Structure 1
Amino acid sequence: MWVTSSLATVLTPTAVALGNFDGVHRGHRQVVQPVLAARPGDSPRFYSTVVSFHPHPREFFTGQSRSLLTPLSEKVAQLQQLGVEQLVLLPFDRDLASLTPEQFVQSILVQRLQAVRISVGMDFCFGRERTGTATGLQAIGAAFGIDVTIAPLQLLDGERISSSAIRQALQTGDLSIANCYLGRSYELVGQVVQGQQLGRTIGFPTANLQLPAEKFLPSLGVYAVQVQVYETEQAELLQPAIGVMNLGNRPTINGTSQTIEVHLLDWSGDLYGRTLRVSLEKFLRPEQKFASLDDLKAQIQADCDSARALFAARLTEGEQL
């Protein structure tokens, strides 16, 4: 997939899905789907393109950094899986923010992107002071002969699927809701770095995971996880595994900094420098302080047993790990 932040290097003409797409959740996929409809051989040929903004407009206006469900590398991977051919990251600056909706369509979508089709969500807003709406975009697009599709809001049990709802569910440890809204398991992708190696001393060696600084973290605690191990971020998958992950400050050993530690079950081998893709499958328990290391060891063993039971039950039900 071609990724660019320069309008001078965009592949044209385009069919454009517009939005921020943090999480690339089930609602976002409904916005992207219409621009994937045409395939090579159709006339006219176009590049299925997602147009997003960097930094996030809210980050630009508030001056505060914003954590992301899908940092750029994850967003690229998710969009590529959907079949998107191009990701355009529009630099969100004062000039872009000052464009009226009509100017945005004419200068960005028509002249630079040569859009032949546009898709947005029902709640999409754009242009100066967010005065442009999805229905307004339809009207402007029609003046240029561009078909604009408005994807309806995606609901589950009457609740709207949104990035905000996913964040809230992750903060409360409700993985069933978060993963359902995402349409997949929430993932942490990072490199294994040197830790204090305390897990080895109690019989549970762990891999310390270093994530992108902007990655949104779920509730502190212990999770049952599925793990894919790669030589590097771009390399082929080495081996899948299951395990438990602890996200927290390790209060039993008076830890002073937050760490992400993954213990792989039935694994042997050096993980340092390798990339792990950790899928969060079940929240097992909150972080807690134990009276002794023996109590901690007993609880970790219980956590491992719970994870084994979870994945064994899934295999029995026919799910593929």
Structure 2
Amino acid sequence: MWVTSSLETVRTPTVIALGNFDGIHQGHCQVIQSLLSNRSDTAQVTVVAFNPHPQAFFSGEHQPLLTPLSEKATLLENLGVDQLVLIPFDQALANLSPQDFVKDILVAQLQAQFISVGFNFCFGYQRAGTAEDLVAIAGQYQIPVSITAPQTNGSEPISSSAIREALLEGNLEKAQQMLGRAYDLTGTVVKGQQLGRTLGFPTANLQVPTDKFCPRTGVYSVSVTSNLWSQPQPGVMNWGCRPTVDGQQPSLEVHLLDWSGDLYGHTVTVHLQQFLRSEQKFASLADLKAQIQADCEIARASLAAVV
């Protein structure tokens, strides 16, 4: 898939899905499905997002992402998208009127033939343009626009913010339903303090991208994938500061239940399956070891139907 941050190198003409698409959740998939249903033989199926996220630009604060760029690109490619355009979001872009955004960006630069957006899409100066405005403005250029209705999980609208809330609550079932898949953490295995090895439970310390949104601290049952194995491996993950050993910085550690070997330098993906318990401080390493053993037994039972 072609990924570009320059409007000068966009492959045109295009059919476009507009939005930030953080998480590529079930609602996003519907927006993209509408795009795929209206593709032409000559147009590039294109997702147009903004970098940085507009909220991060206006607040000046770090915005952790459910799907950093590498994850987002992989998920979009798997959905059948040809091109990801990350328009640099700056003050000049923020100042464009809805009319000028359509004329200067969508028509002149992207040569859009069809546009797909979610029901709550807003654009232009001070987010003045709505999805309905986009229909009217794009219609002046004979560009059809599809507006995807709200997608719900039960009675709750599916959104990236709702997924973040579910992850912070440790409610993986809810997050998985909205995403349509398990929430993943991908990173490189680096050296840690190797305390787990002394307890009989060696762990892989995973270094994830700094802009990756992390869930509630605690212990999880997980499945782990890597190019080292043909099948996912069952495991237990601890995410937190390890209070029993006076840890100061949060770390992400994974113990594989049925595999041992050297993972240093390898990239692995941890698929969160079930939140087992909150992080806690134990009176002794012996108590910690006993709890880890219990965690492994619970995780194995919960993963039996998954891995």
> Into which bin does the TM-score normalised by the smaller protein fall?
over 0.9
- 1:286 — aligned with what? 278
Q: Give identity over the alignment, percent.
A: 60
Of residues 81, 84, 88, the one that matches 2:85 is: 88
Q: Deviations over 1:29-60 (max 9, x none)?
A: 11111111256xx45x2110000000001111
- Do the aligned residues in 2 keep the contact of 1:230 with 1:239 (CA within 8 Å)? no
- 1:171 — aligned with what? 168
Shift of 1:238: 5.5
| Cα distance in 2 for residues equivalent to 1:35 and 1:48 | 7
| TM-score, normalised via structure 1 length | 0.94
- 1:217 — aligned with what? 214
Q: Deviations over 1:179-206 (max 9, x none)?
A: 1111100000000001000100000000
Q: Deviations over 1:111-158 (max 9, x none)?
A: 110000000000000000100000000001111000000000111211
| Cα distance in 2 for residues equivalent to 1:34 and 1:111 | 23
Matched, 1:206 2:203: yes
| Cα distance in 2 for residues equivalent to 1:301 and 1:79 | 39
Of residues 290, 293, 298, the one that matches 1:298 is: 290
Q: Deviations over 1:253-272 (max 9, x none)?
A: 11111000000011021000
- Do the aligned residues in 2 keep the contact of 1:223 with 1:246 (CA within 8 Å)? yes
| Cα distance in 2 for residues equivalent to 1:230 and 1:96 | 41
Of residues 54, 57, 80, the one that matches 1:57 is: 54
Count of aligned pairs: 307
- Do the aligned residues in 1 keep the contact of 2:38 with 2:114 (CA within 8 Å)? no
Alignment of 1:135-214 (within 5 A): 135-214=132-211
| Cα distance in 1 for residues equivalent to 2:283 and 2:60 | 43
- Do the aligned residues in 1 keep the contact of 2:135 with 2:144 (CA within 8 Å)? yes
Matched, 1:68 2:60: no
Q: Deviations over 1:44-77 (max 9, x none)?
A: x211000000000111111111011111111111
- 2:105 — aligned with what? 108
Shift of 1:230: 3.2
- Do the aligned residues in 2 keep the contact of 1:20 with 1:56 (CA within 8 Å)? yes
- 1:6 — aligned with what? 6
| Cα distance in 1 for residues equivalent to 2:241 and 2:198 | 18
Q: Deviations over 1:263-288 (max 9, x none)?
A: 00110210000011100000000001
- Do the aligned residues in 2 keep the contact of 1:2 with 1:86 (CA within 8 Å)? yes
- 2:18 — aligned with what? 18
Q: What is the RMSD of the two structures over their aligned residues, measured on CA atoms?
A: 1.1
| TM-score, normalised via structure 2 length | 0.98
- Do the aligned residues in 2 keep the contact of 1:187 with 1:280 (CA within 8 Å)? yes
| Cα distance in 2 for residues equivalent to 1:299 and 1:169 | 25
Of residues 259, 267, 271, the one that matches 2:263 is: 271
Change (3 A) 1:149 1:38: closer
Aligned partner of residue 230 in structure 1, secondary structure: coil
- Do the aligned residues in 1 keep the contact of 2:222 with 2:303 (CA within 8 Å)? no
| Cα distance in 2 for residues equivalent to 1:85 and 1:181 | 24
| Cα distance in 2 for residues equivalent to 1:98 and 1:301 | 57
